[in-house]
A = this chain, B = another copy of it.
Amino acid sequence: MTATSQPTDAENLLRLEHQVCFALHNASRAFGAIYRDALKDLGLTYPQYLAMLALWEHGELSVKRLGELLRLDSGTLSPLLKRLEAAGLVKRERSAQDERSVLVSATASGAALREQATEVPLEVARRTGFDVAEMRELRGLLGRLTDRLDAAGVAQEC
C-alpha cells in the first residue's frame, strides 16, 4: 500500500467490489443457516425446498424447465431429485412425447408437505425481523446485479 498518497477512485472501486462479493457470499451462507434450521423438521435442504416450491407452484415440470427456474443444471438436479424421490416426495418418469425428457412431479406425500412448509417462511420472517421496504430494495439491487453478472459472464465468449 502507498501510505502517503490518498487512495484513488479506482482503488476504492476495487475495494468496494471485493466487499460486495464477500458480503454477498456471507449473507447467502447466513441465510442458509436460518433455512437449514427452519427446514430440518421437513427433512429438506434449502435447494430441495426450492425444487418443491417450484413443483407445488407449477405442477409437473421437466428437469430442463426446473433447471431454468432454479438456475441449476442436470449435474446438480439429477442427484437432488434422486434424493427427493428416495424420500418419496417426488415422482420421475420419461416423457412419452420426447423420450429424452424426464417429467418430475410431487407425489401425494410431497403435496402433503406443502401444508407444513407454509410455516417455514413464517418462521424465517419471525426470526429475522424483516423490514419489507428494505427487502424490496435489496431484491431489486440483487436482481439488477445478477443480470449484469450474467451478461458479463456470457459476454466473455466474444
Contacts and interface: CB of A to CB of B under 8 A. Distances in A.
A135 B145 CA distance: 9
Contact of A31 (B24, B35, B53): B24
Interface string A122-158: 1011011110101111110111111011101101100
Contact of A17 (B50, B130, B141, B149): B130
Given A129-B152, A152-B129, A21 B37 contact: no
- Chain A, interface residues (CB within 8 Å), range: 35 or more
A127 B118 CA distance: 40
Interface in A9-67: 10, 12-14, 16-31, 33-35, 37, 46, 50, 53
B139 A10 contact: no
A19 B27 CA distance: 14
A146 B32 CA distance: 11
A88 interface: no
Nearest to A25: B28
B125 A30 contact: no
B149 A141 contact: no
